[in-house]
Chains A and B, each alone.
Chain A
Amino acid sequence: MNTQALLTPNNAMNRVRYGIDRMFDTMVPAFVRNIGLTDARLTGPSVNLIEDDDRLYVEAELPGVAMEDLEITVADNTLTISGARSLSVPDDATPLRQERGELVFERSLGLPTQVEVDAVEARMVDGVLRVTLPKASTSRTRRIAVTQG
């Protein structure tokens, strides 16, 4: 089997590399925020938009993000999702591999139809956020019965 050991915490070079990576990982998002630019971490997360006759559903994968660290607003037909995820490091543990990272994100999405702003609901289930936006009555799909003349 083609296996490869990737974890060598006792290797001094890896420790130095880890330290430098962590430094950049914490500094860069703050710097980018301060000068008003954005990077991938700040513009995410990716969203999916699903639609039925009466509602829009916007979904985003946000594992480990607590509902209280999340802000969802709807204004001018734009949905904005912003928040942060902090990593909970197990007690007395040394990181050997870190792919997940902390997140600070903000995402805006123009909605294809008018929605009932007061009736918007958001739920987080198993790390997936789903925002349910009922369509405004004027935007709902109406089936017109065709009568024979």
Chain B
Amino acid sequence: MNMHANNTDSRTTVAPIACCQVGECRTLTKHPHTFRAPVDVYEAEDRFIVLADMPGTTPEDIEINVDGSTLEMTGAVTDRYDELGSISRQEYGLGDFHRHFRVGTGIATDQITATYSDGILTVNLPKHPAVEPRRVQVTER
């Protein structure tokens, strides 16, 4: 009953349209041993907002890279049980979080900012200011 169902529809890429500015990359082979952080994506008038659940990491251990049209988010998680004692019951594993998204040309990638609090990573992706349509005057010779 979640929006996971979205993963199966919208099979086509319509890159230039503003609504497709933040689409997920499906190639995960580079990071086979990381956890897929659940993500919400919102669109506001001037920006896109990505919220990712990455509990147990720190701002210093989060790496956000924009390479061309790919936004990559990794939250490294250190083994905090090492110094605590022995694990007598383990229902979830510890590991790094990772997600990567394709971002369109409508996003000002040099102005992306991010904050981390309460285990949630918030990435702000500002849109380029809208380009006003311009009519070209045709003159008589």
A contact set with B: CB distance below 8 Å: 1-11, 14, 17-18, 21, 24-25, 28, 46-53, 55, 57, 61-66, 87, 89-101, 112, 124, 126-128
Contacts and interface: CB of A to CB of B under 8 A. Distances in A.
Interface of B: 1-7, 9-15, 19-27, 38-45, 48-49, 51, 53-58, 70, 81, 84-92, 102, 116, 118-120
B54 A96 contact: no
Contacts of A5: 10, 12-15, 20, 23, 102
Chain B CB within 10 Å, residue with most, of A18, A49, A52: A49
A48 B89 contact: yes
Contacts, number: 181
A interface: dominant SS: loop
Contacts of B38: 99-101
A141 to B, nearest CB: 11
A97 B39 contact: yes
A101 B1 CA distance: 10
Nearest to B50: A97
Given A4-B13, A101-B38, 15 more contacts: A4-B10, A4-B11, A4-B23, A4-B26, A6-B24, A7-B22, A10-B19, A50-B85, A61-B53, A61-B92, A64-B119, A94-B43, A96-B43, A99-B4, A101-B2
Given A11-B10, A48-B89, A64-B53, A57 B1 contact: no
Contacts of B4: 99
